[in-house]
A = this chain, B = another copy of it.
Amino acid sequence: MTTPTDPQAIAERQLCGLVNGLAQRIAEHVRERAATLGLTASQATALREMSGPMTMRELAERMSCEPSNTTFVVDKLEKQRLIERHPHPTDRRAKHLVLTPEGTALRGRLLELLHADSPLSGLTPEEQHVLHGLLERAVTSG
């Protein structure tokens, strides 16, 4: 058992702060780019994950948020005529989310904006590869 003044514990605390800081920087990046298209960050995240028709739950999982939150976000996108809720072909409980032509077009522009000047561009592809491996281990080992 480690104590809070253990050097190893202090290092872990710093590491948590760094992870959080980078996550905030990424979120800020999304927020800025989304704003230029008249979208909020969560709306942009939803649009980004809409690579094809899917259900509310699937979108929630891709956005890593609660389904109730997805209802809220999709409501907003629907009001902007970017997405539509169709009946699901085989499951009447579920909704089949599909982008409108405007939604598809906006998603294209959004993806370009998000990929230009990425917040991770300070790392080389090799570094990104190492980072990827470490993060994957950290996330799945919990």
Contact = CB atoms under 8 A, between A and B. Distances in A.
Interface in A82-99: none
A52 interface: no
Interface of A: 1-4, 6, 8-9, 11-27, 64, 108, 111-112, 114-116, 118-123, 125, 127-132, 134-142
Nearest to A21: B139
A19 B26 contact: yes
A111 B11 contact: no
B15 A112 contact: no
Given A15-B120, A138-B123, A21 B132 contact: no
A131 B122 contact: no
A139 B16 contact: no
